[in-house]
Amino acid sequence: MQRRFVKNLALLLFLNLLIKPFWILGIDRTVQNQVGDVNYGFFLSMYSFSIIFFILLDLGITNYNNRNIAQNNHLLAKHFAGIATMKLVLGILYSIVVFIVGFSIGYRGEQLNLLAWLVFNQFLLSFILYLRSNISGLLLFKTDSMLSVLDRLLMIFICSLLLWSGFFITPIKISWYVYAQTTSYFLTTLVALIIVLSHTGKIKLSFNWPFSLMIIKKSMPFALLVLLMSIYNRMEPVLLERLLPGETGLHQSGVYGRAFRLLDAGNNISLLFAVLLLPLFSTMIKHKNPINDLVKLSFTIILAISLTTAISSITFSNKILELMYPQTGTESANDFIIRIHESALVFRILMGSFVAVSSTYIFGTLLTANGNLKLLNISAAFGVVLNIGLNFILIPHYQSFGASIASFSVQLLTAVAQFIFAFKVIDLTFGRNFWIRLSFFILLLITANFFVQYLPIKWPFQLVIGLLSSVILLFILKLLDIKGMHKMTLEIIESIRK
């Protein structure tokens, strides 16, 4: 059982790390390059707005169902009809809330039309996640791993035809991009539904109010946390489009999207880290096992990854963006330089926040596992108020750069708050020696990346040397060791066995 779980968990990670970065950095990036900042900014602002309220589609049902079906396989057929009906009701609630709020902040015409498709897409995605929770609850790990990337594989196939096949004379439109998502989500939903129905047989939709109320009551603190975090993580493109006039807002939202893309790719990797840690932290806390060393090791690994990524990205920001967003045929050399410079300013700030965001996947996950949702909700509520306040002040004057400053400030302060809460509540101690070695690592890594720019070689080789210096420093300063990583692996297996 242990080998089966670890083997399929490795498959899940491999598929996600293979497919999703290619989707973000390959397809999504190319779409923006072809449709332009204004059109992509229009899509990004609408998409960000729709995803803010995504938790209303779930309210913790997926997590509850995953655990429940894993422990009671025989309840799948009985509960599926009730929960599926509840998901449909929540879909209606989500749609009503999104359109009421959207209309109240001024969305009209084309905006509401695009929003309708995005709302439908979010509903399909939510239903896919619910169907997958049944499949993983049945311990069909390989099937779940394949479904976790099926929608992206379908989108990659469809968008590749639209972008590069030569079958379409007209360049891709942002509406086609949204329709491709709809098609991919719909087909994935059908596949997942067929798999689930093969285990449940025929079902009859029904609504069980007491059962639904029980789930909502249990999941409400978690749902509130996700909603608050969604607001301060996804608000910038919406506010850029709303607070700036005409095409300026759409253009600046597109600029923000260019800079945000690499951060989004990095966050996907950090999120997988949290997915691994949550059940492990929960199990160790339940059995009152010592958790300090595991938290310290996890924090060291993710901090090393995020710091290395952030410092390298900041150092080579212009070169990276020139590679990702090359000069177009109708763009003068001067306009190209201005565009890259504008994006680089935002990119450096956002990649700086990657360190803070990554740390929340350790300490936020730890506090969640320990049941300290009240503390997390307090810090998230503070983040929402600060985020909206700073954006209203900074965006009118500094546009996308101001939005990046607001995002960085909120991510840093909420990360620090979670760090302090975790150390006080869990009683963690890393030791003075650790912090001294970490300080030297940061200082030496910044120094190495500064001087590597002046080596008489091409910048990709400079970047590689900068990345390798991080690995070397980790072992020289003894921040990371093979024995420690082996120990964490053994703890994971032991927790799974229990």
DSSP per position, 301-313: HHHHHHHHHHHHH
To 10 degrees, what angle do helices 246-286 and 333-369 make? 30
Residue 64: CA count within 13 A, CB half-sphere:
18
- 355 falls within a domain: yes
Compare 104 and 204 and report the one with higher pLDDT. Answer: 104
Q: Is the pLDDT reported for residue 213 higher than 90?
A: no
From 164, 192, 207, give the residue that closes a domain.
207
Residue 14: count other Cβ atoms within 10 Å of its Cβ. Answer: 12
Whether 40 shows a pLDDT value over 50: the answer reads: yes
Q: Average pLDDT of 34-43? A: 92
Q: Do 296 and 356 belong together in one domain?
A: yes
CA distance 325 to 33: 7
Whether 195 and 339 map to the same domain: the answer is no
Q: Which residue has the tokens 């997590």?
A: 63
CB 118 within 8 A of CB 48: no
pLDDT for position 201: 66
Q: How many CB atoms lie within 10 A of CB 105?
A: 12
Question: Is the pLDDT at 355 greater than 60, yes or no?
Answer: yes
Specify whether 168 is located in the same domain as 293: no
pLDDT of residue 450: 92
100 and 203 fall within a common domain: yes
Does the residue 6 lie in any domain?
Answer: no
Is 14 or 281 the better-scoring residue by pLDDT? 281
Sequence-distant (6+) residues with CB within 8 A of 171 are 34, 35
CB 215 within 8 A of CB 61: yes
pTM given for the model: 0.83
User: Of 32-46, 53-67, 443-457, which gets the smallest average pLDDT?
Assistant: 53-67
Q: 77, 203 in Cβ contact below 8 A?
A: yes
Please, which pLDDT band fits residue 456 given cuts at 50, 70 and 90? very high
**Same domain, yes or no: 426 and 300:** yes
Is 134 inside a domain boundary?
yes
- Note the pLDDT of residue 277: 75
The pLDDT tens digits of the residues spanning 145-169 come to 788 889 999 999 999 999 988 787 7
Among left, alpha and beta (phi > 0; psi -120 to 50; other), residue 480 is: beta
Is the confidence at residue 45, as pLDDT, over 80? yes
Is 119 inside any structural domain? yes
Q: What is the pLDDT of residue 77?
A: 63
Tell me, what's the pLDDT at 229?
A: 87
Q: Do the domain assignments include residue 11?
A: no
Percentage of the chain with pLDDT > 90?
A: 50
Q: Which of 189, 207, 225 is the last residue of a domain?
A: 207
The pair of three-digit structure tokens given for residue 385, joined into one six-digit string: 């108020």
The closest alpha carbon to 47, from 99, 135, 115, 111, belongs to 115
Q: List pLDDT tens digits, range 311-352.
A: 999 999 999 999 999 988 788 999 999 999 999 999 999 999
Report the distance separating Cα 94 and Cα 45, nearest Å: 18
Q: What is the pLDDT of residues 232-266, one digit of tens each?
A: 888 999 999 999 998 999 999 999 999 998 888 88
pLDDT score for 2: 44
Helices 246-286 and 373-425 pack at an angle, to 10 degrees, of: 60
pLDDT tens-digit map of 404-446 = 999 999 999 999 999 999 999 988 888 899 999 999 999 999 9
Looking at 167, 188, 207, the residue that finishes a domain is 207
Q: 282 with 154, same domain?
A: no
Torsion of CA 484, 485, 487, 490, to 10 degrees: 180
Q: Record the tokens describing residue 174, joined without a space.
A: 């942002």
**pLDDT at residue number 169:** 78
Residue 66 reports pLDDT greater than 50:
yes
3-state secondary structure of 180: helix
Residue type, 494: E
Whether 2 is covered by a domain: the verdict is no
Q: Would the pLDDT of 354 be above 50?
A: yes
Q: Are both 319 and 272 inside the same structural domain?
A: yes
DSSP state of 25: I
Question: Is residue 449 assigned to a domain?
Answer: yes
What's the CA gap between 341 and 15, in Å, rounded? 34
Helices (H) and strands (E) in the chain, counts: 16, 0
Confidence class of residue 13 from pLDDT cuts 50, 70 and 90?
low
Do residue 143 and residue 99 come from a single domain?
yes
Q: Give the model confidence (pLDDT) of 107-127 as tens digits.
A: 988 999 999 999 999 999 999
pLDDT on residue 318:
94
Q: Are 180 and 35 members of one domain?
A: yes
Residue 182's nearest CA partner among 50, 74, 322, 41 is 50
Report the length, in residues, of the chain. 498
How many distinct structural domains can be found in the chain?
2
In sequence order, the 6+-apart residues with CB closer than 8 A to the CB of 291 are 281, 284, 285, 366, 426
At residue 5 the predicted structure's pLDDT band, cuts being 50, 70 and 90, is very low
Contacts of 210 (CB under 8 A, 6+ apart): none
Model confidence at 205, in pLDDT bands (50, 70, 90)? low
- Identify the domain containing residue 396 by its residue range: 237-498
> Mean pLDDT, the chain, as a whole number?
85
- 341 to each of 16, 63, 258, 336, 405, how far by Cα in Å? 32, 43, 12, 9, 16
331 plus 457 within the same structural domain: yes
For the stretch 374-410, pLDDT in tens is: 899 999 999 999 999 999 999 999 999 999 999 999 9
Looking at 266-280, 285-299, 358-372, which range is the least confident one?
A: 266-280
Distance of alpha carbon 72 from alpha carbon 61, whole angstroms: 16
Same domain, 366 and 489: yes
Q: Are 281 and 365 in contact (CB under 8 A)?
A: yes
Sign of CA dihedral 208, 209, 212, 218: negative
Q: What is the mean pLDDT of residues 79-99?
A: 87
Asked whether residue 175 carries a pLDDT value surpassing 90, the answer given is: yes
Answer yes or no: do 76 and 122 share one domain: yes
Q: Kindly state whether residue 223 falls inside one of the protein's structural domains.
A: no
Virtual torsion, Cα 315, 318, 324, 326, nearest 10 deg:
-160
Give the number of other Cβ atoms within 10 Å of residue 422's Cβ.
Answer: 23
